C-alpha cells in the first residue's frame, strides 16, 4: 500500500470534513466543516496537510495561519487542530509525520509560533509545551453584581448581538485591545457563526453588548449548557472597557439566572481580574490552553523591537541582543552578561518570565519585558 503525505487541495475538503466528523463528532453536534469554516475552506486548503493511502485520506492535520498583536507588535502564528487519523490506519505515525511537516512549514514561512489545541505526547515530543498562565475566575451572581456596581458605573444598556448593527464596532473593540488576534470583518463574522468552542461541548453560544448613545462599549461571548445541564456557563472572549465588561457579566448572569460563570483573565487584564478578586470570586490558574512551539526566539525578538524599545528606552534596548546559535540554542546578551536558552527555556522566558539566575543587570531588564501578555487561545479563533 502506498502512502502519500501532501498539502491538501480544495477538492479534498469534503473527505477531510467527513473524517474529522467521524473522529470528533457525535450525531447531535455541528459538523466540523460548519463549526470550523475558516479552517475547512477552499481558500485555506493549501495550508492543511493530509496523509493519503491508496487514494483515501486517512490523516488530517488542520492548520490555519493568523496574526496576533501584542503591544502593537505583530507575531505570525499557525494554529493546529482537528488532528485525526482514521481508526483503521492508526499506529503508523502518519500524524507524527504531518506534525513534523507542519514544523518545517513554520520554519520555511517565517511563522513565529505554532499554537496547538492539545497537549498529547504527539505534540510534546515535537517541541510543543505548555506555557504562561491564564486565571479563570468564577463569580457568583452576587459577586458579579458587587464587581460591577461602583462609582464608575456607566449609563448604558445591555443588548443581544445583531450582526448588521454590531459587527464593525465589535471589531474596533477587538483591535483596541493591547493583545488580540488580528481579524477582518468577514473572518470575524464566520468565527461567530461557527461557534467552534461551544460546538465541541454542545453548548449554546450567545453574545451580549453594552451600548451607550449608539456606541458599543464592550461585548462578551459566552456559552450556556445545552443537553448537558452539568456544564458550567463560560465566557470565551470579551473586549472593551473593564467596567462595561463587568456590567455585562452582571446582566448576563441576571438574565439567565446563572449561579456562576467562568471567565478567563490574561496578563493584560490585571485591573479587571482585581475587580473580580475583590468581589470574592474564586480563581484557578492554568497554563495557556493547549501547547505552543516557538520557531525562532531571535525572529520573535526582532518583531518585538518596538515594544522592547518603548519599555527600556532606545539606548538600553540597543545594548540588549538575542541571537540563535549554530546548534539551535539562543544567546541573550547585555554587556558582559549572557543567558543561554534552549527552545523550551525561550518559550518559558516569553510567557512565564525570566529565570532567577539571568544576571544582576540582564535579569531585571528581562523581568521588565517578560512574561508577555497573550491571547486566550480558546476564544473564537480556536482551531
Residue 291 lies in a domain: no
Out of 102, 124, 146, pick the residue that ends a domain: 124
Residue 381 lies in a domain: no
- The domain tally of the chain equals 3
Residue 377 lies in a domain: no
Taken in order 122, 33, 16, 29, the sign of the CA dihedral is positive
Which CATH number do you get for residue 83?
A: 3.40.630.30
Q: What is the dihedral of CA 266, 62, 116, 34, to 10 degrees?
A: 30
Q: Say yes or no: 271 and 151 in one domain.
A: yes
User: What per-residue confidence (pLDDT) applies to 227?
Assistant: 77
Residue 107 lies in a domain: yes
Q: Is residue 15 exposed (0-12), middle (13-18) or buried (19+ Cβ within 10 Å)?
A: middle
Q: Say yes or no: 325 and 268 in one domain.
A: no
Angle at 21 between CA 18 and CA 25, to 5 degrees: 165
Residue 32: give the domain boundaries: 3-124
The answer to whether 338 and 317 have CB atoms below 8 angstroms apart is no
Residue 89 lies in a domain: yes
Q: Say yes or no: 233 and 115 in one domain.
A: no
Q: Say yes or no: 320 and 261 in one domain.
A: no
Q: How far is CA 50 from the centre of its chain?
A: 24
The answer to whether 236 and 223 have CB atoms below 8 angstroms apart is yes
The answer to whether 320 and 312 have CB atoms below 8 angstroms apart is yes
Residue 282 lies in a domain: yes
Q: Say yes or no: 80 and 181 in one domain.
A: no
Q: Say yes or no: 158 and 275 in one domain.
A: yes
Q: Is residue 267 exposed (0-12), middle (13-18) or buried (19+ Cβ within 10 Å)?
A: middle
Residue 138 lies in a domain: yes
Each of the 383 residues of the chain gets a pLDDT tens digit; together they read 789 999 999 999 999 999 999 999 998 899 999 999 999 999 999 999 999 998 999 999 999 999 999 999 999 999 999 999 999 999 999 999 999 999 999 999 999 999 999 999 999 999 999 999 999 999 999 999 999 987 566 689 999 999 999 999 999 999 999 999 999 999 999 999 999 999 998 899 999 999 999 899 999 999 999 877 788 999 999 999 999 999 999 999 999 999 999 999 998 999 999 999 999 999 999 999 999 999 999 999 999 999 999 999 999 999 999 999 999 999 999 999 999 999 999 999 999 998 877 888 999 999 999 999 999 999 999 99
Q: Say yes or no: 239 and 180 in one domain.
A: yes
Q: Say yes or no: 77 and 220 in one domain.
A: no
Q: Say yes or no: 260 and 148 in one domain.
A: yes
Three-state SS string over 198-263 comes to HHHCCCEEEEEEEEECCEEEEEEEEEECCCCCCCCCEEEEEEECHHHHHHHHHHHHHHHCCCECEE
What the block records as the C-alpha cell of 294 is 516557538
Q: Say yes or no: 148 and 111 in one domain.
A: no
User: What per-residue confidence (pLDDT) applies to 236?
Assistant: 98
User: What per-residue confidence (pLDDT) applies to 153?
Assistant: 64
User: What per-residue confidence (pLDDT) applies to 27?
Assistant: 87
The answer to whether 363 and 354 have CB atoms below 8 angstroms apart is yes
Out of 101, 124, 147, pick the residue that ends a domain: 124
Pairing of strands 263-265, 134-138: antiparallel
Q: Say yes or no: 85 and 180 in one domain.
A: no
Out of 259, 286, 313, pick the residue that ends a domain: 286
Q: Whole-model pTM?
A: 0.96
Residue 348 lies in a domain: yes
Q: What is the DSSP string of 329-355?
A: -EEEEETTEEEEE-HHHHHHHHHH---
What the block records as the C-alpha cell of 336 is 558582559
The answer to whether 193 and 37 have CB atoms below 8 angstroms apart is yes
Q: Say yes or no: 159 and 257 in one domain.
A: yes
Amino acid at each position: 500500500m502506498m502512502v502519500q503525505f501532501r498539502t491538501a487541495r480544495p477538492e479534498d475538503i469534503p473527505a477531510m470534513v467527513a473524517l474529522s466528523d467521524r473522529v470528533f463528532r457525535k450525531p447531535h453536534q455541528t459538523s466540523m466543516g460548519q463549526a470550523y469554516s475558516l479552517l475547512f475552506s477552499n481558500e485555506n486548503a493549501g495550508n492543511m496537510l493530509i496523509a493519503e493511502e491508496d487514494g483515501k485520506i486517512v490523516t488530517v492535520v488542520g492548520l490555519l495561519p493568523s496574526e496576533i498583536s501584542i503591544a502593537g507588535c505583530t507575531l505570525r502564528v499557525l494554529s493546529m487542530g482537528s488532528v485525526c487519523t482514521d481508526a483503521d490506519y492508526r499506529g503508523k505515525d502518519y500524524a507524527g509525520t504531518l506534525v513534523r511537516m507542519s514544523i518545517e512549514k513554520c520554519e520555511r514561512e517565517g511563522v513565529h509560533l505554532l499554537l496547538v489545541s492539545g497537549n498529547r505526547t504527539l505534540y510534546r515530543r515535537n517541541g510543543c509545551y505548555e506555557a504562561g498562565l491564564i486565571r479563570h475566575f468564577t463569580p457568583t451572581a452576587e459577586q458579579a453584581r458587587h464587581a460591577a456596581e461602583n462609582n464608575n458605573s456607566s449609563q448604558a444598556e445591555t443588548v443581544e448581538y445583531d450582526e448588521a448593527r454590531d459587527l464593525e464596532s465589535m471589531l474596533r473593540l477587538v483591535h483596541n485591545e493591547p493583545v488580540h488576534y488580528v481579524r477582518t470583518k468577514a473572518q470575524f463574522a464566520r468565527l461567530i457563526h461557527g461557534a467552534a468552542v461551544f460546538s465541541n461541548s454542545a453548548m449554546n453560544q450567545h453574545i451580549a453588548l453594552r451600548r451607550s448613545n449608539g456606541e458599543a462599549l464592550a461585548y462578551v461571548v459566552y456559552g450556556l449548557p445545552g443537553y448537558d445541564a452539568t456544564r458550567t456557563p463560560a465566557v470565551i472572549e470579551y473586549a472593551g472597557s473593564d467596567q462595561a465588561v463587568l456590567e455585562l457579566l452582571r446582566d448576563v448572569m441576571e438574565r439567565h439566572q446563572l449561579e456562576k460563570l467562568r471567565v478567563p483573565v490574561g496578563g493584560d487584564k490585571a485591573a479587571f481580574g482585581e475587580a473580580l478578586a475583590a468581589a470574592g470570586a474564586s480563581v484557578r490558574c492554568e497554563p495557556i490552553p493547549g501547547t505552543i512551539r516557538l520557531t525562532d526566539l531571535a525572529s520573535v525578538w526582532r518583531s518585538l523591537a518596538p515594544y522592547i524599545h518603548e519599555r527600556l528606552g532606545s539606548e538600553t534596548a540597543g545594548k540588549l541582543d538575542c541571537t540563535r546559535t549554530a546548534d539551535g540554542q539562543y544567546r541573550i546578551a547585555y554587556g558582559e552578561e549572557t543567558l543561554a536558552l534552549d527552545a523550551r527555556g525561550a518559550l518559558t522566558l516569553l510567557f512565564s518570565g525570566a529565570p532567577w539566575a539571568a544576571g544582576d543587570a540582564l535579569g531585571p531588564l528581562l523581568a521588565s519585558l517578560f512574561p508577555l501578555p497573550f491571547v486566550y487561545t480558546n476564544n473564537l479563533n480556536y482551531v
